[in-house]
Amino acid sequence: MGVEEHEGPQLPAVWKASAAITATCGLLLFVFLLTYSGQPSYADTSARESPLCAAARRWRARYADRHDLQVVVTEVTFQGTPGNFRLEEGAIVAPVAIALQGAQEILDVGGDPAPLRVLRADGVTLLSWAYAGSLYRAIRTTGFALVRREPGRPYVPPASPTFATLPRELAFDATLTAQQLQEHHLARCKSFPDWVASHAGAPPYTEQLQRIVTQLGGTSQREARGDDPCADIRKGRFKVHDAQVFAVMAARQLGAPAFGFFGSDIPHGFLVATYVDGAGWLTLDVTDAAAGYTLGGPGIVSMAPGVGQFEASVDGFWNPAGAAFAEGPTGTSAMSYTNWRARAASEDTTVTHAAPLDEVCP
Predicted pLDDT at 85: 66
94: region left, alpha or beta (phi > 0 left; psi from -120 to 50 alpha) = beta
- What residue type is 227 in one-letter code? D
Which of the four pLDDT bands, split at 50, 70 and 90, describes residue 32?
Answer: very low
In the predicted model, is pLDDT for residue 14 greater than 80? Answer: no
In the predicted model, is pLDDT for residue 19 greater than 50? Answer: no
| DSSP 8-state symbol, 220 | T
Total-model pTM: 0.85
What gap in Å lies between CA 258 and CA 163, rounded to an integer? 11
Predicted pLDDT at 89: 83
CATH architecture of structural domain 13-149+307-359: Sandwich (2.60)
Mean pLDDT of 177-185: 92
In the predicted model, is pLDDT for residue 28 greater than 70? Answer: no
Predicted pLDDT at 347: 85
What gap in Å lies between CA 78 and CA 58, rounded to an integer? 30
Return the minimum-mean-pLDDT range out of 27-36, 102-111, 155-164. Answer: 27-36
Domain assignments of the chain as residue spans, ordered by start: 13-149+307-359, 153-297
Predicted pLDDT at 195: 93
Distance of CA 129 to the CA centre of its chain: 19
Predicted pLDDT at 223: 52
Mean pLDDT of 292-320: 94
Predicted pLDDT at 361: 95
Predicted pLDDT at 135: 72
pLDDT tens digits, 232-288: 888 887 889 999 999 999 999 999 999 999 999 888 899 999 999 999 999 999 999
Predicted pLDDT at 345: 67
Return the minimum-mean-pLDDT range out of 7-16, 137-146, 300-309, 316-325. Answer: 7-16
Predicted pLDDT at 229: 80
Which of the four pLDDT bands, split at 50, 70 and 90, describes residue 313?
Answer: very high
The chain-wide mean pLDDT, for the chain, equals 84
Alpha-carbon distance values, 249 to 141, 216, 280 (Å)? 33, 12, 19
Predicted pLDDT at 35: 34
Predicted pLDDT at 234: 82
Predicted pLDDT at 302: 97
pLDDT tens digits, 74-123: 999 998 876 666 777 899 999 999 999 999 999 999 999 999 999 999 99
Q: How big is the CA angle at 50 (ends 300 and 44), to the nearest 5 degrees?
A: 75
Regarding predicted confidence, which is higher, 12 or 270?
Answer: 270
Q: Among residues of the chain, what percentage have pLDDT more than 70?
A: 82
What phi, psi does 205 have (nearest 5°)? Answer: -65, -30
In the predicted model, is pLDDT for residue 41 greater than 60? Answer: no
Mean pLDDT of 3-24: 35
| DSSP 8-state symbol, 125 | E
Q: Is omega for the bond preceding 267 within 30 degrees of 0, making it cis?
A: yes
Return the minimum-mean-pLDDT range out of 130-134, 169-173, 207-211, 267-271. Answer: 130-134
Which residue blocks in 136-186 are alpha helix, DSSP H? 168-175, 178-181
How many DSSP H helices and E strands does the chain contain? 8, 16
Which of the four pLDDT bands, split at 50, 70 and 90, describes residue 38?
Answer: very low
